[in-house]
Amino acid sequence: MSATAGERNWWKNAVIYEVYPRSFQDTNGDGIGDLNGITERLDYLKDLGVDAIWLTPVYPSPQVDFGYDISNYRDIDPQYGTLADFDRLVAEAGKRHIRVIMDMVMNHTSDRHEWFLQSRSSRDNPYRDWYMWHDGKGQTATSKGEPPNNWQSLFGHSAWQWDETTRQYYYHKFYIQQPDLNWHNPAVHEAFKQIMAFWLKRGVGGFRFDAITALFEDPSMADEGVVLDKNGKPEINAYGDPQLDDSKTDNQPGVHAVIAEMRAEADKFDGSAFPGARVMIGETYLPNIGELRKMYGTPRQPEFELPMDTQVAFINKLDVAAFRQRLTDAELRLGTHTPLLLFDNHDNPRIAARYGDGVHDMDIQRVIATILLASRGSALMYYGDEIGMKTTLPKRKEDVKDPIGITGWPKEKGRDGERTPMQWDGSANAGFTTGTPWLQVPGSAETVNVKAEERDPDSLFAWYKELIRLKKTVPAFEDGANIMLDAENTKVLSWMRQAPGTPQVVVSVNFTAQPQTVNLAIGGAGIGPRKLKTLLKTPGAADPVALNRIELGPYGVYIGEVQ
């Protein structure tokens, strides 16, 4: 069956919802979310309007990094269910036109993966060269010497681990239990092509490629530079180590050829659940828009369809000029490609913790949701964003589950705070489990929960749902250009969506706690003082008279169609 253009391009104006399976819905009372729980909640996701769900890893894993340490890429961890449960999830999601996107972790495996067990067993094992083994500096027959260079794990301390059996160090960008694969070895490429095929044949809607920029290291093995503070002293990170510049271990040239190779492989499949293309999403933390542009590849060697735009996501303050600049970059500097906007994920404090002021957080979350969903491109949201779940950090070191928080305590409390159970209702465990939840349910669940917000037309949930509906139904929102308006304004961000033959739509968001009035009739795009039809506005706000006088309350939002 061949795909229609719409089916092929489903990811272009899509809403992709990240599920952290461990925390979404438990169905067997063990306090850990499972695949059947996700299946149970598909109607909720359908009602919200999402096109796809991305599951963080559900493969068998010792769970040191909660699934990002994979010991078998072709099965489901019993904690989450079985392959049959997975197939049922894909089939049920398919019935609701929701794609299931898998996490693809290619940078490293678990140290319990068969490949690594073989690799570490002897220097002449066929799998030896699948990982990054090196002699120590000054190593002798009796001494291990020093680690080969100063490279550090992103999770603290040296990235080199001594292994006594074969007397060499292995490299791990993440935890010690996550040895890095050697992408100079063609057998590693082949293995991952087969793994992708395994899941594509099961009908997955694509992959999110984890830590992709970490795939290669500089073959010179030279030390990385130390980042200096303004006094010229080494900056010290939360783990007490000098901060390195990542120049030899991140975004090295070889990565593009691998992404293109995987893309070519994925392009051979059309996914059996849907007669349409699957999508390749990249976890692409990059220093600038130019590097992000490269992640889309070239017409002859396409790479990701949707590398994440972390430029916009992590501005981390409501600075109008910075948002205007980066959204303009996303619009103008990615060629004809689709930006993938996001603000949140399982590795970072939630939206309110990074953008909130503690007083207007609800309205500020509306502001962020509007930028996410009313800008051109696809949108990636994180479970619980739609109800305004808050980051809730562990109070005591002994409660911390994420090893980063254990190594970095108290400066770095880890990522548990943004991984707390989904808040479905106001009951004791928020409807997440009948057992003891693996992470405590935050007290805020009493009021911040799906059940309460579904009933309230002014809730954040209602706001997200309406924004998603507009994204899907307003013609200018489909692929209309994103044009900044009132570009000197330092308090309000305004833009217009414009597509030939359809009404223009204007969006204004107030980045301040004071009321603001904007005049968009004089904007750079030169639209006159025309009338507006309101599509969405902050609850309680008045309708503007016309384009030359839009009044916004503190952190107010207005979306209107130009008449």
Catalytically active residues, by annotation: 210, 283
DSSP-assigned states of every residue in 508-552? EEE-SSS-EEE--TTSTT---S-BEEEEEE-TTPPPPSBTTBEEE
CB of 173 to ligand NOJ, least distance (A): 8
Measured between alpha carbons, how far is residue 293 from residues 15, 153, 218, 386 in Å? 21, 27, 22, 29
- Consecutive H or E run containing 209: strand 206-209
Nearest to 504 by CA among 551, 563, 552, 547: 563
CB of 418 to ligand NOJ, least distance (A): 10
Nearest to 429 by CA among 26, 78, 80, 79: 26
Nearest to 93 by CA among 39, 145, 150: 39
Report the residue number, 181 or 467, with the smaller CB distance to ligand NOJ: 181
Report the residue number, 210 or 250, with the smaller CB distance to ligand NOJ: 210
**Are the C-beta atoms of residues 449 and 425 closer than 8 Å to each other?**
yes
Measured between alpha carbons, how far is residue 251 from residues 214, 218, 297, 333 in Å? 6, 10, 14, 19
Report the residue number, 105 or 400, with the smaller CB distance to ligand NOJ: 105
Report the residue number, 65 or 250, with the smaller CB distance to ligand NOJ: 65
∠ CA 300-306-307, rounded to 5°: 95
Return the residue nearest ligand NOJ (CB atom): 68
Report the residue number, 107 or 429, with the smaller CB distance to ligand NOJ: 107
CB of 211 to ligand NOJ, least distance (A): 4
Secondary-structure breakdown of the chain: helix, strand, coil percentages, each rounded to the nearest 5: 30, 20, 55
Report the residue number, 388 or 403, with the smaller CB distance to ligand NOJ: 403
Number of CB atoms found within 10 A of residue 437's CB: 21
CB of 402 to ligand NOJ, least distance (A): 9
Q: Where along the sequence are the contacts to ligand NOJ (CB under 6 A)?
A: 65, 68, 105, 174, 210-211, 283, 346-347
Pairing of β 279-282 and β 15-19: unpaired
Q: Which residues have CB under 8 Å from 442's CB, separation 6+?
A: 389, 390, 392, 420, 423
Distance between CA atoms of residues 141 and 99, nearest Å: 55
Four-residue CA torsion sign, 436, 437, 440, 442? negative
CB of 327 to ligand NOJ, least distance (A): 24
Report the residue number, 175 or 463, with the smaller CB distance to ligand NOJ: 175
CB of 56 to ligand NOJ, least distance (A): 7
Write phi, then psi, for 33 (nearest 5 degrees). -60, 160
Supply 307's token pair: 């590398």
